[in-house]
Homo-oligomer: A and B are copies of this chain.
Amino acid sequence: MALRHAVLAALVHGEASGYELAKRFELGVANFWHAKPQQVYAELARLSEAGLVQGREVIQESRPNKRMFAITDDGLAVLAEFAAAPKGLPVGRDDLMIAVQAIDTLDAEVVRDGIERRAEQAKQKLATLQELERQILGGRDEATFVRTSRHLGPYLNCRRGIRFQQDTLEWCEWALQVLRSR
């Protein structure tokens, strides 16, 4: 039941609509949490019923109406409890690594193509995250930002994502070189 906490955490820096939250999950936090839009809407409904978030209707004219959700004090309490609980290791599932594991029996070219495609995906994701980093830093260097900002969480998370994609890319390039050199 951790999507619940992920949604609450995504709301601590201000209210958001289900649509906005779904986008945040897709891009910003996506390396370490992932959720489909339908899941987000369903979770918001449950959180709202439990009193952990509060929604308000926003009537718009040139667009469909939307509901903005904000975290409540009860929601914050639940988040705090979650943060204090011991965490297990991250759960990862990567289809590509299944193919890699079996490369010696399979057609190696097919797996190589998969690694190349993954490298491309990583590059794109990396570009997106670096753009996000620029937005967060807003022209300041890291030391200045760390001293002056009250929004460290998203930055720490963004850095984790950038590192992960860089590491992915480096592994892909190393693996391709190994496979070429056989």
Q: Is A65 an interface residue (CB 8 A)?
A: no
Stretch of A40-48, A52-60, A78-86, A129-137 that contacts chain B: A78-86
Cα(A98)–Cα(B88), bound, Å: 13
A102: chain B residues at CB < 8 Å are 8-9, 12, 79, 83, 153
How big is chain A's contact interface, by range?
35 or more
Copies per assembly: 2
Q: Is A13 an interface residue (CB 8 A)?
A: yes
Q: Is A23 an interface residue (CB 8 A)?
A: no
Cα(A3)–Cα(B2), bound, Å: 22
Q: Is A96 an interface residue (CB 8 A)?
A: yes
Q: Is A63 an interface residue (CB 8 A)?
A: no
Cα(A79)–Cα(B29), bound, Å: 31
With A84-B110, A102-B79, A163-B167 in contact, is A97–B33 under 8 Å at CB? yes
Question: What distance in Å separates the Cβ of A141 from its nearest Cβ neighbour in chain B?
Answer: 13
Choose among A84, A91, A97, A103 the residue with the greatest number of B CB atoms under 10 Å from its CB: A97
Q: Is A62 an interface residue (CB 8 A)?
A: no
Interface string of A68-82 (1 = CB under 8 A from B): 000000001001101
Contact B83 A32 (CB under 8 A): no
Q: Is A121 an interface residue (CB 8 A)?
A: yes
Contact B91 A34 (CB under 8 A): yes
Q: List the interface of chain A (C-beta within 8 A of B).
A: 2, 5-6, 8-10, 12-13, 29-34, 76, 79-80, 82-84, 86-107, 110-111, 114, 117-118, 121, 125, 143, 146-147, 150-154, 156-157, 159-160, 163-164, 167, 170-171, 174-175, 178-179, 181-182
